[in-house]
Amino acid sequence: MMINIPPASILILGALIIPFLKGKVRSFYMVILPLLTLFYLFSLSEGTYWTVKILNYELIFGRIDKLSLAFGYIFAIVTFIGVIYSLHVKDTLHLMSAFIYAGAALGAVFAGDFITLFIFWEIMAFAAAYIIWSAKTKKAISAGMRYLMVHIFGGLLLISGIIIHYYETGSLHFNYIGLNGLSTWLIFLGFGINAAFPVLHAWLPDAYPESTETGTVFLSAFTTKTAVYVLARGFPGTELLIYIGALMTAFPIFYAVIENNLRRVLSYSLINQVGFMVTGIGIGTQLSLNGTVAHAFCHILYKALLFMSMGAVLYRTGKINATDLGGLYKSMPLTTVFCIVGAASISGVPLTSGFVSKSLIVSAAGEGGMLLIWIALLFASAGVFHHSGIKIPFFAFFSHDSGIRTQEAPKHMLIAMGLAAFLCIGIGIMPGPLYSILPYPVDYEPYTSAHVIDQTQLLAFSALAFTLLMLSGIYPPEIRSVNLDADWFYRKGAKAFMWLLNNPGAKLMAKINNFIFEKVISFLVWFTKNPVFAIKIAKDTLLLAFSIPEKRDEIKKRLKDEKESYPGDHSMPTPIGTVVLWATIFLTICLIIFYFAL
């Protein structure tokens, strides 16, 4: 079977038919689309396909190689899982935006040139904003708006970088870029906003927890991982990325410890996990780049699984804050088990997917002799277990009994979570198939006795720390609160800016208006009544200022008479003379302007 279309089009064009279908047909159709995409990707061989020539530009819709295929596979798989999870959703536009979003992510990953990449990049931003808005709450609407503004800003950085890059190199092909000069920095920052670089990250924990229970599952998979892909394509081995990545692994976990909204905790840990991938790109060895791709693959699955389990809790109870939850293992036992599988995978417990992917990156840092980076990654590994591995399942399903009695998640949600959990454990037990789709040959054995015992110790004693702090009452209690993050600068900054515009700004504008439209105009009216006489008054005023004291009284008197008698007799002998005078002045000005302008 060879259907000759770009892979992205199955989901994007397929989405357009969703509104015309109903009930079981629609469910069947939606589940088939991502499966079709996945099998289509399996059938593709490496190479460059679907190039379209527009004017002098060549758009490349299909650059198929191992790097893009690995991301393509996992995007199709998570779309399949996410769609099953969303089968209860009635909102057609919500479903369409999810399909278009996933399709655009595939388009971006297979794009071989900057223009194609940019187009899909922007489609993703708008589709994601719509997914956030689908929650239809006031908070979601404003968070979606902020999301869109941040990503449009990122898109502007990207397109400016692309345009300058084109003029510098004459090429729009998207290959290795590397950091040198303005254009590459602009592209780097454009990518960096989507990858949630520190300080540029605040859109993520701001917006993701506000979407619907299904929307966040899609959101968690595509935007940051597409950014990881383009960074791996354009900036492998860029040293700066090592430090950015290490910082990303470390700082969000402090926020995750004190955050009350459990989906926001997961959003912070998402940044932490992307930090590992970014570090891997920065190290730039075959081992670390393999690690980045493997970790992106596994991360998408267990992060989706965690967001699905929290989504099921939100769907059934309407609550997501740790302060409101607890004891749900009694009514949602299967969801509890799936959540624990996701939590174990993100923590890198042996026999789960995180164990076989994260260790590639940590080993690459260790083998490169990067002591501080290695310690930061180890700290982040312990920390992620602490907040995602323990905190999420503990506060939602155990902890004190909140008294909430509800039902198990709906069947389709359980199937979706079960699939993701199966893959998390499957990859952990049998990493071979995952390793075989990585961009470089893998010569790495995760299951050595030393690695297993080291990782188990790291996790078990982190759990001991949690247990001791909990039992002694030192562990910070969950508090309903807002924790300030970098978005403070634009959320409060925008308010301060509006205040400045409305208060001092408005007063200043009123003064400027008054000056230009009243004072200047009335002076001109006064002046043109009798210019010659007016100039005479001006001359006498000047004279008064510089004259000797004896003459001053005389001039004062004369000035007073002149002002009283103004405009006096029109001393212009002929009006034609005035017109000629003004015309001459006007033409002179034109002459001067054109002389300098041309």
Q: Smallest distance, Å, CB 456 to another protein? A: 6
Q: Smallest distance, Å, CB 504 to another protein? A: 21
Q: Smallest distance, Å, CB 322 to another protein? A: 13
For another protein, the binding residue among 398, 447, 490, 566 (CB under 8 A) is 398
Q: What's the one-letter identity of residue 303?
A: K
Stretch of 15-23, 186-194, 366-374, 520-528 lying at the interface with another protein (CB under 8 A): 366-374
- What is residue 53's three-state secondary structure? strand
- What is residue 63's three-state secondary structure? strand
Please report whether residue 169 would count as binding another protein according to CB under 8 A.
no
Beta bridge pairs of residue 53: 58
Please report whether residue 467 would count as binding another protein according to CB under 8 A.
yes
Q: Smallest distance, Å, CB 451 to another protein? A: 8
Q: Smallest distance, Å, CB 418 to another protein? A: 22
State the number of CA atoms in the 13 A half-sphere of 578 facing the CB. 11
CA distance 412 to 567: 90
Stretch of 212-220, 351-359, 451-459, 496-504 lying at the interface with another protein (CB under 8 A): 451-459
Whether residue 124 contacts residue 190, with contact meaning beta carbons closer than 8 Å, is answered with no
Q: Smallest distance, Å, CB 103 to another protein? A: 33
- The sign of the torsion formed by the CA atoms of 439, 443, 448, 454 equals negative
For another protein, the binding residue among 379, 447, 527, 566 (CB under 8 A) is 379
CA distance 203 to 486: 9
- Decide whether 433 or 476 has the Cβ nearer to another protein: 476
Q: Smallest distance, Å, CB 85 to another protein? A: 27
Number of residues that bind another protein (CB under 8 A): 52
Please report whether residue 469 would count as binding another protein according to CB under 8 A.
yes
Whether residue 342 contacts residue 397, with contact meaning beta carbons closer than 8 Å, is answered with no
- Decide whether 214 or 288 has the Cβ nearer to another protein: 288
For another protein, the binding residue among 484, 494, 520, 532 (CB under 8 A) is 484
CA distance 266 to 261: 9
Stretch of 147-155, 373-381, 410-418, 587-595 lying at the interface with another protein (CB under 8 A): 373-381
Whether residue 206 contacts residue 146, with contact meaning beta carbons closer than 8 Å, is answered with yes
Interface positions, 124-153, toward another protein (CB under 8 A): none
Interface positions, 229-288, toward another protein (CB under 8 A): 253-255, 257-258
- Decide whether 46 or 367 has the Cβ nearer to another protein: 367
Q: Smallest distance, Å, CB 278 to another protein? A: 20
Both tokens of 28, joined, read 């069947």
Stretch of 216-224, 377-385, 417-425, 582-590 lying at the interface with another protein (CB under 8 A): 377-385
Please report whether residue 459 would count as binding another protein according to CB under 8 A.
yes
Interface positions, 324-363, toward another protein (CB under 8 A): 329-330, 363
Please report whether residue 496 would count as binding another protein according to CB under 8 A.
no
Whether residue 572 contacts residue 578, with contact meaning beta carbons closer than 8 Å, is answered with yes
Stretch of 224-232, 299-307, 430-438, 448-456 lying at the interface with another protein (CB under 8 A): 448-456
Both tokens of 465, joined, read 């720390």
- Decide whether 4 or 449 has the Cβ nearer to another protein: 449
Please report whether residue 369 would count as binding another protein according to CB under 8 A.
yes
Q: How many CB atoms lie within 10 A of CB 337?
A: 17
- Decide whether 28 or 461 has the Cβ nearer to another protein: 461
DSSP run (H or E) holding 48: strand 47-54
Q: How many CB atoms lie within 10 A of CB 329?
A: 18
CA distance 92 to 58: 35
- Decide whether 169 or 456 has the Cβ nearer to another protein: 456
Please report whether residue 378 would count as binding another protein according to CB under 8 A.
yes
CA distance 290 to 365: 13
- Decide whether 25 or 479 has the Cβ nearer to another protein: 479
CA distance 469 to 465: 6
Stretch of 122-130, 369-377, 407-415, 501-509 lying at the interface with another protein (CB under 8 A): 369-377
Q: Smallest distance, Å, CB 164 to another protein? A: 37
CA distance 527 to 76: 77
For another protein, the binding residue among 46, 239, 401, 561 (CB under 8 A) is 401
CA distance 226 to 13: 20
- What is residue 242's three-state secondary structure? helix
Long-range contacts of residues 142-150, Cβ cutoff 8 Å, at least 24 apart:
143/206, 143/207, 143/210, 144/207, 144/210, 146/203, 146/206, 146/207, 146/487, 146/490, 146/491, 147/203, 147/206, 147/207, 150/193, 150/202, 150/203, 150/490
For residue 420, give every residue at least 6 positions away whose Cβ sits within 8 Å of its Cβ, in sequence order, or none: 81, 301, 302, 304, 305, 308, 338, 342
Q: How many CB atoms lie within 10 A of CB 408?
A: 15
Stretch of 171-179, 285-293, 307-315, 397-405 lying at the interface with another protein (CB under 8 A): 397-405
Please report whether residue 382 would count as binding another protein according to CB under 8 A.
yes
- Decide whether 468 or 590 has the Cβ nearer to another protein: 468
Query: Vertex 156, ends 137 and 250: CA angle to 5°?
Result: 70
Q: Smallest distance, Å, CB 416 to another protein? A: 26
How far does the chain reach from its first CA to its final CA, in angstroms?
A: 64
Please report whether residue 587 would count as binding another protein according to CB under 8 A.
no
Long-range contacts of residues 494-499, Cβ cutoff 8 Å, at least 24 apart:
none
Beta bridge pairs of residue 58: 53
Q: Smallest distance, Å, CB 375 to another protein? A: 8
For another protein, the binding residue among 485, 530, 533, 540 (CB under 8 A) is 485
Q: Which residues are at the interface with another protein (CB under 8 A)?
A: 253-255, 257-258, 329-330, 363, 366-367, 369, 371, 374, 378-379, 382-383, 386, 398, 401, 405, 448-450, 453-469, 474-476, 479-485, 491
